Chains A and B, each alone.
Chain A
Amino acid sequence: MNDLEKSLKTELREAARRGPRLGDWRSALDERAQPPRARTRSRWSVPLVAAASVAVVAAGGLLVSTVVDSDNQTTPAADRADSRAEAEVSVLDQECDVSAVPDLSSGNLSKKFLDEVKQNRVAQPLPKGADPYSRTRIDDWVRAQSSDAQAARGATVMTVQVPYRVGAAWMGGGDNPLVAPSRCVWVSVTDAPWEMRRHIRGYEPKTFSGYMMMHDSASGEYLGMVAGPDAIAKFNELTVTP
Protein backbone atom coordinates (compact mmCIF):
# COMPACT_ATOMS: atom_id res chain seq x y z
CA MET A 1 0.00 0.00 0.00
CA ASN A 2 1.54 3.35 -1.03
CA ASP A 3 1.43 6.68 0.81
CA LEU A 4 -1.67 7.90 -0.97
CA GLU A 5 -3.58 4.75 -0.12
CA LYS A 6 -2.43 4.98 3.50
CA SER A 7 -3.54 8.62 3.67
CA LEU A 8 -6.89 7.72 2.20
CA LYS A 9 -7.39 4.93 4.69
CA THR A 10 -6.49 7.17 7.61
CA GLU A 11 -8.62 10.07 6.42
CA LEU A 12 -11.66 7.92 5.76
CA ARG A 13 -11.47 6.43 9.24
CA GLU A 14 -10.99 9.83 10.81
CA ALA A 15 -13.87 11.34 8.86
CA ALA A 16 -16.16 8.45 9.73
CA ARG A 17 -15.27 8.82 13.38
CA ARG A 18 -16.45 12.41 13.24
CA GLY A 19 -19.43 11.66 11.06
CA PRO A 20 -23.08 11.42 12.06
CA ARG A 21 -24.32 8.85 14.54
CA LEU A 22 -27.04 6.39 13.69
CA GLY A 23 -29.68 8.13 15.82
CA ASP A 24 -33.26 7.06 16.14
CA TRP A 25 -33.73 5.26 12.83
CA ARG A 26 -37.17 4.02 13.88
CA SER A 27 -38.53 7.52 13.39
CA ALA A 28 -37.98 6.89 9.69
CA LEU A 29 -40.70 4.28 9.87
CA ASP A 30 -43.18 7.03 10.72
CA GLU A 31 -41.63 9.54 8.37
CA ARG A 32 -42.09 7.19 5.45
CA ALA A 33 -45.79 7.90 5.71
CA GLN A 34 -45.34 11.69 5.75
CA PRO A 35 -45.49 13.94 2.70
CA PRO A 36 -42.12 14.83 1.12
CA ARG A 37 -42.00 18.40 2.45
CA ALA A 38 -42.04 17.29 6.04
CA ARG A 39 -39.07 15.04 5.41
CA THR A 40 -37.20 17.78 3.59
CA ARG A 41 -37.59 20.05 6.58
CA SER A 42 -36.28 17.45 8.95
CA ARG A 43 -33.12 17.24 6.91
CA TRP A 44 -32.55 20.90 7.60
CA SER A 45 -32.52 20.54 11.32
CA VAL A 46 -28.88 19.61 11.69
CA PRO A 47 -27.39 22.36 9.53
CA LEU A 48 -29.75 24.88 11.00
CA VAL A 49 -28.81 23.98 14.51
CA ALA A 50 -25.12 23.78 13.65
CA ALA A 51 -25.10 27.30 12.31
CA ALA A 52 -27.48 28.76 14.83
CA SER A 53 -25.45 27.38 17.67
CA VAL A 54 -22.63 29.78 16.83
CA ALA A 55 -24.86 32.84 16.74
CA VAL A 56 -24.64 35.50 19.43
CA VAL A 57 -27.36 37.38 21.26
CA ALA A 58 -26.81 40.50 19.18
CA ALA A 59 -27.97 38.73 16.08
CA GLY A 60 -31.38 38.22 17.63
CA GLY A 61 -31.87 41.94 17.94
CA LEU A 62 -30.74 42.39 14.38
CA LEU A 63 -33.19 39.79 13.19
CA VAL A 64 -36.08 41.75 14.60
CA SER A 65 -34.86 45.18 13.66
CA THR A 66 -34.08 44.14 10.11
CA VAL A 67 -37.56 42.84 9.58
CA VAL A 68 -39.20 45.90 11.06
CA ASP A 69 -36.94 48.56 9.60
CA SER A 70 -37.02 47.20 6.13
CA ASP A 71 -40.70 46.60 5.65
CA ASN A 72 -40.89 49.31 3.04
CA GLN A 73 -38.07 47.67 1.10
CA THR A 74 -39.73 44.32 0.79
CA THR A 75 -42.31 42.98 -1.59
CA PRO A 76 -45.37 41.37 -0.05
CA ALA A 77 -45.77 37.82 -1.20
CA ALA A 78 -49.14 38.48 -2.82
CA ASP A 79 -47.61 41.07 -5.14
CA ARG A 80 -44.40 39.27 -5.88
CA ALA A 81 -45.51 37.76 -9.14
CA ASP A 82 -46.10 41.24 -10.56
CA SER A 83 -42.82 42.71 -9.48
CA ARG A 84 -40.33 39.90 -9.90
CA ALA A 85 -38.09 41.93 -12.17
CA GLU A 86 -37.92 44.79 -9.68
CA ALA A 87 -37.25 42.36 -6.88
CA GLU A 88 -33.99 41.36 -8.52
CA VAL A 89 -32.47 44.63 -7.35
CA SER A 90 -32.44 45.98 -3.82
CA VAL A 91 -31.09 49.31 -2.64
CA LEU A 92 -29.64 47.43 0.32
CA ASP A 93 -27.41 45.29 -1.87
CA GLN A 94 -23.71 45.81 -1.41
CA GLU A 95 -20.82 45.41 -3.79
CA CYS A 96 -19.39 41.89 -3.76
CA ASP A 97 -17.78 39.26 -5.97
CA VAL A 98 -19.89 36.25 -6.89
CA SER A 99 -16.87 34.09 -7.77
CA ALA A 100 -14.39 35.16 -5.10
CA VAL A 101 -12.46 32.29 -3.55
CA PRO A 102 -10.43 32.45 -0.36
CA ASP A 103 -6.65 32.55 -0.31
CA LEU A 104 -5.76 29.24 1.27
CA SER A 105 -2.01 29.59 1.21
CA SER A 106 -0.63 28.43 4.50
CA GLY A 107 0.35 31.93 5.61
CA ASN A 108 -3.24 33.11 5.52
CA LEU A 109 -4.69 29.84 6.66
CA SER A 110 -3.02 29.03 9.89
CA LYS A 111 -4.43 30.72 12.95
CA LYS A 112 -7.80 31.80 11.64
CA PHE A 113 -8.42 28.47 9.98
CA LEU A 114 -7.38 26.52 13.01
CA ASP A 115 -9.74 28.58 15.13
CA GLU A 116 -12.53 27.44 12.85
CA VAL A 117 -11.31 23.87 13.03
CA LYS A 118 -11.31 24.07 16.77
CA GLN A 119 -14.93 25.13 16.65
CA ASN A 120 -15.72 22.14 14.52
CA ARG A 121 -17.43 23.91 11.68
CA VAL A 122 -15.35 24.01 8.54
CA ALA A 123 -15.23 22.03 5.35
CA GLN A 124 -14.07 22.88 1.88
CA PRO A 125 -14.00 26.11 -0.10
CA LEU A 126 -17.24 26.88 -1.84
CA PRO A 127 -17.41 26.07 -5.53
CA LYS A 128 -17.55 28.88 -8.03
CA GLY A 129 -21.05 27.94 -9.09
CA ALA A 130 -22.02 27.79 -12.72
CA ASP A 131 -25.62 28.79 -12.13
CA PRO A 132 -25.85 31.67 -9.65
CA TYR A 133 -29.02 31.78 -7.60
CA SER A 134 -31.45 34.59 -8.21
CA ARG A 135 -33.05 36.61 -5.45
CA THR A 136 -36.49 35.20 -6.13
CA ARG A 137 -35.17 31.64 -6.15
CA ILE A 138 -33.58 32.14 -2.75
CA ASP A 139 -36.73 33.89 -1.50
CA ASP A 140 -38.80 30.89 -2.48
CA TRP A 141 -36.37 28.48 -0.89
CA VAL A 142 -36.17 30.41 2.37
CA ARG A 143 -39.94 30.71 2.50
CA ALA A 144 -40.24 26.96 1.99
CA GLN A 145 -38.22 26.32 5.14
CA SER A 146 -40.99 27.67 7.34
CA SER A 147 -42.78 25.15 9.51
CA ASP A 148 -46.11 26.73 8.61
CA ALA A 149 -46.69 26.54 4.88
CA GLN A 150 -49.85 28.61 4.94
CA ALA A 151 -48.31 31.45 6.94
CA ALA A 152 -45.18 31.29 4.80
CA ARG A 153 -47.16 31.89 1.62
CA GLY A 154 -48.18 35.32 2.87
CA ALA A 155 -44.99 36.07 4.76
CA THR A 156 -42.59 38.84 3.91
CA VAL A 157 -39.16 37.74 2.84
CA MET A 158 -36.45 40.32 2.48
CA THR A 159 -33.30 39.25 0.69
CA VAL A 160 -30.19 41.31 0.18
CA GLN A 161 -26.93 40.47 -1.50
CA VAL A 162 -23.90 41.43 0.53
CA PRO A 163 -20.27 40.34 0.89
CA TYR A 164 -19.81 37.32 3.10
CA ARG A 165 -17.98 39.35 5.76
CA VAL A 166 -21.11 41.47 6.19
CA GLY A 167 -23.49 38.51 6.17
CA ALA A 168 -21.38 36.63 8.68
CA ALA A 169 -21.39 39.63 10.99
CA TRP A 170 -25.15 39.86 10.71
CA MET A 171 -25.51 36.21 11.53
CA GLY A 172 -23.55 36.82 14.67
CA GLY A 173 -21.04 34.00 14.35
CA GLY A 174 -17.42 34.12 13.34
CA ASP A 175 -16.68 34.10 9.65
CA ASN A 176 -15.41 31.01 7.90
CA PRO A 177 -11.97 31.36 6.32
CA LEU A 178 -13.01 28.93 3.63
CA VAL A 179 -15.39 31.54 2.24
CA ALA A 180 -13.81 34.62 0.71
CA PRO A 181 -14.79 37.79 2.64
CA SER A 182 -15.86 39.50 -0.58
CA ARG A 183 -17.89 36.52 -1.82
CA CYS A 184 -21.51 37.41 -2.62
CA VAL A 185 -24.07 35.86 -0.30
CA TRP A 186 -27.80 36.18 -0.04
CA VAL A 187 -29.08 37.06 3.43
CA SER A 188 -32.81 36.54 3.78
CA VAL A 189 -35.05 37.49 6.67
CA THR A 190 -38.61 36.28 6.97
CA ASP A 191 -41.36 36.59 9.54
CA ALA A 192 -42.74 33.11 8.91
CA PRO A 193 -42.66 30.61 11.78
CA TRP A 194 -39.85 28.14 12.07
CA GLU A 195 -40.01 25.14 14.33
CA MET A 196 -37.08 23.34 15.83
CA ARG A 197 -38.10 19.74 15.88
CA ARG A 198 -35.25 17.47 16.82
CA HIS A 199 -31.53 16.74 16.91
CA ILE A 200 -30.84 18.51 20.17
CA ARG A 201 -31.17 16.23 23.13
CA GLY A 202 -32.99 17.68 26.08
CA TYR A 203 -34.29 20.60 24.08
CA GLU A 204 -38.02 20.70 23.65
CA PRO A 205 -39.43 21.50 20.22
CA LYS A 206 -40.18 25.18 19.92
CA THR A 207 -41.56 27.50 17.27
CA PHE A 208 -39.86 30.81 16.55
CA SER A 209 -41.62 33.73 14.96
CA GLY A 210 -38.99 34.47 12.34
CA TYR A 211 -35.63 33.47 10.99
CA MET A 212 -32.69 34.71 9.00
CA MET A 213 -30.72 32.58 6.57
CA MET A 214 -27.54 33.05 4.59
CA HIS A 215 -26.73 31.28 1.32
CA ASP A 216 -23.84 31.47 -1.09
CA SER A 217 -25.01 33.42 -4.14
CA ALA A 218 -23.12 31.36 -6.69
CA SER A 219 -23.80 27.85 -5.49
CA GLY A 220 -26.86 28.25 -3.27
CA GLU A 221 -24.99 26.51 -0.49
CA TYR A 222 -26.44 27.05 2.95
CA LEU A 223 -24.13 29.10 5.15
CA GLY A 224 -26.00 29.83 8.34
CA MET A 225 -29.17 30.70 10.16
CA VAL A 226 -30.48 32.35 13.28
CA ALA A 227 -34.04 31.89 14.44
CA GLY A 228 -35.93 34.45 16.53
CA PRO A 229 -34.47 36.46 19.40
CA ASP A 230 -35.50 33.87 21.97
CA ALA A 231 -33.62 31.22 20.07
CA ILE A 232 -30.35 32.99 20.24
CA ALA A 233 -30.02 32.96 24.00
CA LYS A 234 -31.06 29.32 24.06
CA PHE A 235 -28.54 28.43 21.39
CA ASN A 236 -25.83 30.17 23.36
CA GLU A 237 -26.73 28.11 26.39
CA LEU A 238 -26.51 24.99 24.27
CA THR A 239 -23.10 25.84 22.94
CA VAL A 240 -21.67 26.12 26.42
CA THR A 241 -23.53 23.08 27.79
CA PRO A 242 -21.45 19.90 27.51
Chain B
Amino acid sequence: MSTSMDTFVSEHGQRLVDFAYLVTRDRDVAEDAVHAVLARMAAMEFASISNPVAYARRGIVNETRSRHRRERKFLTIVPELAVDDVDKGRVDVEDRLVLWAAFDTLTKRQRIAVVLRYYEDLPDSEIALILGCAPATVRSLISRALRALRPLVEETDTDE
Protein backbone atom coordinates (compact mmCIF):
# COMPACT_ATOMS: atom_id res chain seq x y z
CA MET B 1 0.00 0.00 0.00
CA SER B 2 1.43 3.36 -0.88
CA THR B 3 2.19 5.86 1.82
CA SER B 4 0.06 8.42 0.02
CA MET B 5 -2.94 6.16 0.21
CA ASP B 6 -2.34 5.45 3.89
CA THR B 7 -2.00 9.14 4.61
CA PHE B 8 -5.15 9.88 2.66
CA VAL B 9 -7.11 7.25 4.58
CA SER B 10 -5.86 8.40 7.96
CA GLU B 11 -6.67 12.02 7.16
CA HIS B 12 -9.98 11.62 5.35
CA GLY B 13 -11.21 8.06 5.86
CA GLN B 14 -13.45 8.65 8.85
CA ARG B 15 -14.85 11.81 7.34
CA LEU B 16 -15.81 9.84 4.25
CA VAL B 17 -17.59 7.26 6.41
CA ASP B 18 -19.48 10.07 8.14
CA PHE B 19 -20.51 11.47 4.78
CA ALA B 20 -21.65 8.06 3.50
CA TYR B 21 -23.57 7.40 6.69
CA LEU B 22 -25.41 10.70 6.63
CA VAL B 23 -26.39 10.23 3.03
CA THR B 24 -27.49 6.60 3.33
CA ARG B 25 -28.52 6.57 7.00
CA ASP B 26 -27.40 2.95 7.03
CA ARG B 27 -24.29 2.00 8.96
CA ASP B 28 -23.47 -1.10 6.95
CA VAL B 29 -24.12 0.36 3.54
CA ALA B 30 -22.00 3.37 4.48
CA GLU B 31 -19.13 1.30 5.76
CA ASP B 32 -19.20 -1.06 2.81
CA ALA B 33 -19.43 1.80 0.31
CA VAL B 34 -16.39 3.56 1.75
CA HIS B 35 -14.43 0.35 1.93
CA ALA B 36 -15.27 -0.40 -1.69
CA VAL B 37 -14.22 3.05 -2.84
CA LEU B 38 -10.99 2.98 -0.87
CA ALA B 39 -10.20 -0.46 -2.19
CA ARG B 40 -10.79 0.79 -5.71
CA MET B 41 -8.53 3.77 -5.12
CA ALA B 42 -5.86 1.54 -3.61
CA ALA B 43 -5.90 -0.58 -6.72
CA MET B 44 -5.27 2.52 -8.84
CA GLU B 45 -2.18 4.64 -9.02
CA PHE B 46 -2.94 7.07 -6.23
CA ALA B 47 -0.85 9.89 -7.67
CA SER B 48 -2.95 9.83 -10.82
CA ILE B 49 -6.06 10.98 -8.89
CA SER B 50 -6.01 14.75 -9.05
CA ASN B 51 -8.49 15.42 -6.24
CA PRO B 52 -8.72 12.26 -4.10
CA VAL B 53 -11.30 13.61 -1.64
CA ALA B 54 -13.68 14.70 -4.38
CA TYR B 55 -13.03 11.45 -6.21
CA ALA B 56 -13.85 9.43 -3.11
CA ARG B 57 -17.00 11.41 -2.36
CA ARG B 58 -18.18 11.00 -5.91
CA GLY B 59 -17.41 7.28 -5.74
CA ILE B 60 -19.37 6.97 -2.50
CA VAL B 61 -22.37 8.71 -4.03
CA ASN B 62 -22.34 6.28 -6.94
CA GLU B 63 -21.70 3.29 -4.74
CA THR B 64 -24.49 4.05 -2.30
CA ARG B 65 -26.87 4.77 -5.12
CA SER B 66 -26.50 1.28 -6.55
CA ARG B 67 -26.43 -0.37 -3.12
CA HIS B 68 -29.63 1.38 -2.10
CA ARG B 69 -31.35 0.01 -5.14
CA ARG B 70 -30.42 -3.51 -4.13
CA GLU B 71 -30.85 -3.33 -0.39
CA ARG B 72 -33.64 -0.85 0.13
CA LYS B 73 -36.06 -3.37 1.56
CA PHE B 74 -33.70 -4.38 4.32
CA LEU B 75 -32.58 -1.16 5.89
CA THR B 76 -31.66 -1.68 9.49
CA ILE B 77 -32.71 0.26 12.51
CA VAL B 78 -29.92 2.60 13.42
CA PRO B 79 -29.38 4.54 16.61
CA GLU B 80 -28.95 8.04 15.26
CA LEU B 81 -31.26 9.48 17.87
CA ALA B 82 -29.27 8.15 20.78
CA VAL B 83 -28.15 10.63 23.39
CA ASP B 84 -25.54 10.40 26.11
CA ASP B 85 -27.57 12.24 28.63
CA VAL B 86 -31.10 11.00 29.10
CA ASP B 87 -32.21 14.27 30.65
CA LYS B 88 -30.99 16.11 27.60
CA GLY B 89 -32.84 13.66 25.38
CA ARG B 90 -36.03 14.18 27.34
CA VAL B 91 -36.18 17.72 26.10
CA ASP B 92 -35.42 17.46 22.44
CA VAL B 93 -35.57 13.88 21.30
CA GLU B 94 -39.01 14.21 19.76
CA ASP B 95 -37.94 17.28 17.80
CA ARG B 96 -34.95 15.37 16.54
CA LEU B 97 -37.09 12.41 15.62
CA VAL B 98 -39.28 14.67 13.52
CA LEU B 99 -36.30 16.33 11.89
CA TRP B 100 -34.84 12.98 10.85
CA ALA B 101 -38.19 11.70 9.67
CA ALA B 102 -38.48 14.84 7.56
CA PHE B 103 -34.92 14.40 6.33
CA ASP B 104 -35.85 10.95 5.10
CA THR B 105 -38.55 12.42 2.91
CA LEU B 106 -35.92 14.27 0.85
CA THR B 107 -34.74 12.87 -2.44
CA LYS B 108 -31.35 11.24 -2.57
CA ARG B 109 -29.78 14.19 -4.39
CA GLN B 110 -31.31 16.65 -1.95
CA ARG B 111 -29.91 14.67 1.00
CA ILE B 112 -26.46 14.58 -0.57
CA ALA B 113 -26.54 18.30 -1.25
CA VAL B 114 -27.73 19.08 2.27
CA VAL B 115 -25.05 16.89 3.87
CA LEU B 116 -22.31 18.39 1.72
CA ARG B 117 -23.46 21.90 2.52
CA TYR B 118 -24.29 21.63 6.22
CA TYR B 119 -21.95 18.87 7.32
CA GLU B 120 -19.00 19.23 4.98
CA ASP B 121 -19.43 23.00 4.58
CA LEU B 122 -18.57 22.76 0.91
CA PRO B 123 -19.22 25.58 -1.56
CA ASP B 124 -21.75 25.11 -4.35
CA SER B 125 -19.02 24.58 -6.92
CA GLU B 126 -17.58 21.55 -5.10
CA ILE B 127 -20.99 20.08 -4.38
CA ALA B 128 -21.77 20.47 -8.06
CA LEU B 129 -18.61 18.58 -8.91
CA ILE B 130 -19.63 15.65 -6.73
CA LEU B 131 -23.22 15.57 -7.92
CA GLY B 132 -22.26 16.14 -11.52
CA CYS B 133 -24.48 19.16 -12.01
CA ALA B 134 -24.32 22.94 -12.23
CA PRO B 135 -23.83 25.10 -9.11
CA ALA B 136 -27.23 26.66 -9.75
CA THR B 137 -28.76 23.21 -9.54
CA VAL B 138 -27.10 22.71 -6.17
CA ARG B 139 -28.64 25.91 -4.87
CA SER B 140 -31.97 24.77 -6.17
CA LEU B 141 -31.65 21.34 -4.54
CA ILE B 142 -30.80 22.82 -1.16
CA SER B 143 -33.48 25.44 -1.40
CA ARG B 144 -36.10 22.83 -2.27
CA ALA B 145 -34.86 20.58 0.52
CA LEU B 146 -35.17 23.33 3.13
CA ARG B 147 -38.56 24.25 1.76
CA ALA B 148 -39.65 20.63 2.12
CA LEU B 149 -38.26 20.29 5.63
CA ARG B 150 -39.54 23.52 7.09
CA PRO B 151 -43.30 22.81 7.23
CA LEU B 152 -42.73 19.34 8.63
CA VAL B 153 -40.55 20.63 11.41
CA GLU B 154 -42.64 23.70 12.10
CA GLU B 155 -45.80 21.63 12.22
CA THR B 156 -44.44 19.81 15.22
CA ASP B 157 -43.49 23.05 16.92
CA THR B 158 -47.04 24.21 16.50
CA ASP B 159 -48.39 20.97 17.94
CA GLU B 160 -46.37 21.46 21.07
Q: CB within 8 Å of B: which residues of A?
A: 4-5, 7-9, 11-16, 18-23, 25-29, 31-32, 39, 42-47, 50, 104, 106, 109-110, 113-114, 117-118, 120-125, 133, 141, 176, 178, 219-223
Contacts and interface: CB of A to CB of B under 8 A. Distances in A.
Interface of B: 1, 9, 13-14, 16-19, 21-22, 27-32, 34-36, 38-39, 42-43, 71, 73-83, 86, 89-90, 93-97, 99-101, 103-104, 114-115, 118-119, 146, 149-150, 153, 160
Main secondary structure of the interface of B (DSSP, over half): helix
Contacts of A50: 76
B131 to A, nearest CB: 17
A122 B35 CA distance: 25
A21 B14 contact: yes
Nearest to A15: B80
B100 A32 contact: no
A19 B150 contact: no
A122 B17 contact: no
Main secondary structure of the interface of A (DSSP, over half): helix
A7 B153 contact: yes
A23 B82 contact: no
A19 B21 contact: yes
B80 A18 contact: yes
A110 B90 contact: yes
A29 B43 contact: yes
A50 B29 CA distance: 15
A26 B119 contact: no
Nearest to A215: B74
Top-7 shortest CB links A-B: A28-B35, A16-B18, A19-B21, A47-B76, A28-B39, A12-B119, A220-B73
Given A19-B27, A22-B17, A221-B75, A11 B99 contact: yes
